[in-house]
Amino acid sequence: MKKTLNDIDVNGKRVLLRVDFNVPLSADLKIVDDNRIIEALPTIEHLVLHNAKVIICSHLGRPEGINVPKMSLRPVVARLAKLLQKEIGFIEDIKDKSCKEILDKMNSGDIVMLENIRFYKEEEENDKNFAKLLASFADIFVFDAFATAHRKHASSYGVAELLPNAIGFLVEKELEMFNKVLTDPEHPFVAVLGGAKISDKLPVIENLLDKVDTILIGGGMAYTFVKAIGGEVGKSLVDNKSIDLAKQTLDKAKECGVKIVLPYDNYGADEFTASAKRKCFNSGFFAKDFQGMDIGPHTVKAFKHIIKDAKTIVWNGPMGVYEFPKFKKGTYKIAKCIAKSKAISIIGGGDTVASVQELGLEDKITHISTGGGASLMLLQGKQLPCIEVIEEK
Ligand code: AMP
């Protein structure tokens, strides 16, 4: 078990808190969705309440090591100050001598935020000296940026190697939820996988074979499976490098007694556009000039039937090209069905979460993961570097 906020004494201490405030901004730099800030509030409030001097560090966007003014964290500081009803200091350049002056003046309960840490190229290089500079600001490091837990960067992994540390409440909750379903799930346990990249999802299937009862496969990844068993997929997305492994995975699932359900039918399009001609095909019988864009009505019905009886559901990846209104039905229907279920439900992945948000179903899902890549890695059975480096209790 990793050390959590409740295991450390922060009274009067300088705490460097790594969060993920990578919020979407509009062209005029207004925060479009402040969910990531809201999610970090319990940790920040705990630190303030326990008299820590809180130094918040985050990235925003991909400035790739240079100062890009439109990726400044200033709008985030303003929003956080408003949410907490508290003044928050801002450090524009951690390499400037004014940084130390500001930090030295901090009192217990104060909060200061550092400018976008990815303005420094050393961050993503996990530069040792850069990590040392960050570590020099604080007595304790708290990691609460689950969405970056799979990346070894200086402000997450590097600094954790140098300071006494713990995870924050957000990361604690993420780990608890994934640990519960991956080690002690209630059955029937159904995994719903979709999206485009089958290479990401094959290791997930491999890891889930001794845990789940059924795996429902939709999205673009399904066509590589269909091709692997000899079906005609027309112009559908196929990852030729994954065909053999897809076939082996189907065989292995059979050996393990896990039911993998591929789509029975699919909506196809004559071109990859929102206004394309739509036509339904039985799985494996696509017209040569059509490509699969969504699961069809029989598949939706069959998937719903299985989801209805599940006690645990994990969902990652949309059932089709849900960005095009003509092809979002499958994803939306599965989202509604999971939301209706009484099962423990965990969803992860940017597109999957976005589809649930578009439908306003967030409250009906047990856990919506804040980390796409990080949650995928947990489902693949891999360790997250930024969690591994945190001290044990
Ligand atoms: P992933 O990151 O692998 O979860 O993929 C998410 C993306 O998969 C979304 O942008 C979807 O539009 C895309 N996607 C889902 N189904 C299909 C499909 N049948 N063909 C092409 N792309 C798809």
Predicted pLDDT of residue 8:
97
- Average pLDDT, 10 consecutive residues per value, the chain (393 residues): 96 98 93 93 98 98 96 97 97 96 97 98 98 98 97 98 98 97 96 97 97 98 98 97 97 97 98 97 97 98 98 98 97 98 95 94 96 95 97 96
Ligand 1, CB within 6 Å, residue ranges: 195-197, 200, 219-220, 237, 292-293, 317-318, 320-321, 323, 349, 351
Q: What is the DSSP letter of 392?
A: B
How confident is the model at residue 342, as a pLDDT?
95
Give the Cα separation of 52 and 309 in Å (integer). 47
Residue 54, sorted as left (phi over 0), alpha (psi -120 to 50) or beta, turns out to be beta
In angstroms and rounded to an integer, the radius of gyration of the C-alpha atoms of the chain is 23
For 279, phi and psi rounded to 5 degrees? -145, 140
* CA distance linking residue 143 with residue 58, whole number of Å: 11
Let me know if 350 is a catalytic residue. Answer: yes
**Which residues, 6+ apart, have CB-to-CB distance to 105 below 8 Å?**
none
Annotation marks residue 197 as catalytic: yes
Please choose from 217, 224, 265, 351 the residue to mutate so as to test ligand 1's pocket, defined by most ligand atoms within 8 A of CB: 351
> All domains of the chain, ordered by start, with CATH?
5-169 (3.40.50.1260), 176-379 (3.40.50.1260)
Assigned token pair, 344:
């423990």
Q: Is 230 a catalytic residue?
A: no
- pLDDT attached to residue 182: 96
pLDDT of 309: 96
